[in-house]
Chain A
Amino acid sequence: MNILHVENLTKHFKEIKAVDDLSFSVKKGEVYGFLGQNGAGKSTTIRMLLTLIKPASGSIHVFGKDLRDNRKTILKNVGAIIEKPDLYKYLTAFENLKLMAQLSGCRCSKQELMNQLERVGLSERADSKVKTFSQGMKQRLGIACALIHDPELIILDEPANGLDPHGIADMRNLILHLSKNEGKTILISSHLLSEIELIADSMLIIDKGKKVAEGSVSVLLNPSDTLVEIETTNDALTKTEIGNSKWAEYLQHGDRILLKMHRQSIPELNKHLVYAGIDVTNIQAKHSLENYFLSLTTGNQHVATYQD
């Protein structure tokens, strides 16, 4: 069952297309990684999921309901951190948490609020003002605020930002615990492939607002697959043929046709395209998929072009 289903989502900021015809689905109980370098369109997408930004076109369905028509009902069951934890610095940790609980429609007792602070290791600082907190403590309090109303869907935008390695490990363990033990569905955005690889079941990679790849982490990062670039005389027909094939997956990336496939299947691909009446002018196995995805998430195109 899909908890979240996004279809043909598009958003422009003047002439800039921040999100371009993006579609993806998140299944119940999975940790879904949302990868892309800074400026790829992750935060814009997440803001659209949280109704902070209005899409130019496309639809968003959460829990099977249209977000536009069921905003309040849906958001009651969603917890989120957007970019960095949003907290009132002049309030204490307890006051912040209580306020967030009230805003989320949760009537939590003092004990429940304290338990939540205990869960993120902040119970001893409950009465300290947030302005005295380190970035890591703010992030932990942000998590507590996002989870206080026990949401079914949790959206975390770059939750590892500003955390030290110990904090990142804690965050990772918490996400895994929420997913495996509490059955929460988690959408987590990051520009770190290594981080997503460790916690996500599925992932979506976007670049310049467009989907590059989507699928289970184990399949997408299958070491036996390779990245193949192909040039033909008929790009449109090539894309259709590849879309119909079972042994190659088309990865969108600008005007180039990039495929994810076994290296051994390259001759078969060539034959298939020729039989379909397409003249192939160039087929090139580029490098490992991991390096390619790494290049998309770090912005280091050098990796994509020259490394193998």
Chain B
Amino acid sequence: MWQLIRIELFKIFKKPRTYIAFGAIAAIVFLIQFAFYSDGDEYMAFLLKSVNETFTLEGKLLNGYFICYIILQTLLLHVPLLIALVSGDMIAGEANMGTLRLLASKPVSRTGLILSKFIAATVYTLALLTFMAILSLFGSMLIFGVSDLIVFKTEMFVVLESDDVFWRYIAAYGFAALSMITVSSLAFFLSVFAENSIGPIIGAMSIVLICTILISMDIPFFTEMKPFLFVNHMLNWKGFFDRPVDYAEVLKSALVLIFHIILFVSLTIFVFKRKDILS
């Protein structure tokens, strides 16, 4: 199994398309950091306009923690596409190249093959998020320094003391990893039905997009569906920036995501084991 995982990782990191995601994340992070570096004070003044009428906020509000929060909020909506780019290609891409029949005719079990591919896709997802964390958190801390974090919610704002923030980011990234692995497992599942990677990538993104639209609509029918849609739970990394943190809610969301990961991977194995490989 370890050998298979190594082979899959070797293939992923030898493929040029793998680095598109790293390049895209680096570009977006640097652009946001640059924008805040040059025009950050103006943005903060605009953001705090209504707040300043009632409260007096002191300290360096435009700091590394705040920039990282903005980056996380922006990027975690787009990272699923970058994840699907590789995960959706894991099986369908091999079918398209004709290498799937080669793999399936080797003395390895089909279950082992699928699990190794999924684990490799998970490693890629974690690598991408770690890269994002280094650039957005440590990069911003280095450029803008650290201070208290102000987080704006729908009808309120929360101020978190500087020494109470770092662990929240680590936890938020951990939760975001779970969310992204769920998207990865969805794209991976769709990949088993296709013979080129475009279908699974677009399919996974469409599902995420449709669910996002459904949960943002305040229609009773959709509201009732919310708890069952995994996309609704993906954004609960923000829960770590509440005071106090509602751990029961965060844990519930994490369990929903883990359930979906297990479901998608099990279905992939089930389908692949019965599949006639004709590509």
Residue positions of A touching B, CB distance < 8 A: 47, 50-54, 71-76, 78, 80, 82-84, 86-91, 95, 99-100, 102-105
For the complex, what is the distance from the CA of A91 to the CA of B277, rounded to whole Å?
Answer: 23
In the complex, how many angstroms separate the beta carbon of A131 from the nearest chain B beta carbon? 11
Contact: B106 with A103, CB < 8 Å?
yes
Closest chain A residue to B102 by CB distance? A86
Contact of B7 among A72, A73, A102, A105 (CB under 8 A): A102
Interface assignment of B11: CB less than 8 Å from any CB of chain A: yes
In the complex, how many angstroms separate the beta carbon of B79 from the nearest chain A beta carbon? 24
Contact: A47 with B101, CB < 8 Å?
yes
Instruction: Count CB-based A-B contacts (< 8 Å).
Output: 70
Contact: B107 with A72, CB < 8 Å?
yes
Q: Which residues of A contact B97 (CB under 8 A)?
A: 86, 88-89
Residue positions of B touching A, CB distance < 8 A: 3-4, 7, 10-11, 14-16, 97-99, 101-109, 274, 276-278
Q: Which residues of B contact A47 (CB under 8 A)?
A: 101, 276-278
In the complex, how many angstroms separate the beta carbon of B188 from the nearest chain A beta carbon? 19
Contact: A84 with B276, CB < 8 Å?
no
In the complex, how many angstroms separate the beta carbon of B1 from the nearest chain A beta carbon? 13
A86-B99, A103-B7 given; A53·B276 CB < 8 A: yes
In the complex, how many angstroms separate the beta carbon of A172 from the nearest chain B beta carbon? 24
For the complex, what is the distance from the CA of A86 to the CA of B277, rounded to whole Å?
Answer: 14
Contact: B14 with A75, CB < 8 Å?
no
For the complex, what is the distance from the CA of A28 to the CA of B198, rounded to whole Å?
Answer: 45
For the complex with contacts A52-B105, A89-B97, 6 further pairs of A-B residues with Cβ separation under 8 Å are: A47-B276, A53-B277, A71-B107, A75-B107, A84-B98, A91-B11
In the complex, how many angstroms separate the beta carbon of A81 from the nearest chain B beta carbon? 9
Interface centre among B14, B101, B102 (most CB of A within 10 A): B102
Interface centre among B4, B106, B274 (most CB of A within 10 A): B106
Contact: B11 with A88, CB < 8 Å?
yes
Q: Which residues of B contact A73 (CB under 8 A)?
A: 107
Q: Which residues of B contact A91 (CB under 8 A)?
A: 11, 14
Contact of A82 among B14, B105, B109 (CB under 8 A): B105
